Amino acid sequence: MGVERARFVPGDDSSAVKIDGTALAAAVKDDLRLRVDALKARGIAPGLGTILVGANPGSLSYVAGKHRDCAEVGIESIRIDLPDTATEDEIRRAIETMNADPAVTAFIIQLPLPAGIDPTAMLELMDPAKDADGLHPVNLGELVLAVPGGKGSIDTPLPCTPRGIVEMLHAYDIPIAGTHVTIIGQGLTVGRPLGLLLTRLEATATLTHSRTVDVAAEVRRADIVVAAAGVAGLVKPDWVKPGAAVIDVGITRVQNEETGKYKLRGDVDPAVAAVAGFQSPVPGGVGPMTRAMLLKNVVEAAERP
Give the active site residues. 66, 110, 133
Count helices and strands in the chain by DSSP H and E runs: 9, 11
Please answer whether residues 254 and 232 qualify as being in contact, where contact means their C-beta atoms are separated by less than 8 angstroms: yes
Please answer whether residues 247 and 19 qualify as being in contact, where contact means their C-beta atoms are separated by less than 8 angstroms: yes
**Backbone angles phi and psi of 210, in degrees to 5:** -65, -20
Please answer whether residues 210 and 234 qualify as being in contact, where contact means their C-beta atoms are separated by less than 8 angstroms: no
Spell out the residues 6+ positions from residue 50 whose beta carbon is closer than 8 angstroms to its own: 63, 66, 67, 77, 78, 79, 80, 107, 108, 110
Region of 146 (left: φ > 0; alpha: ψ -120 to 50; beta: rest) is beta
d(CA 64, CA 18): 28
Side chain identity at 291, as an amino acid letter? R
The full DSSP string for 276-305 is -SEE--SSSSHHHHHHHHHHHHHHHHHH--
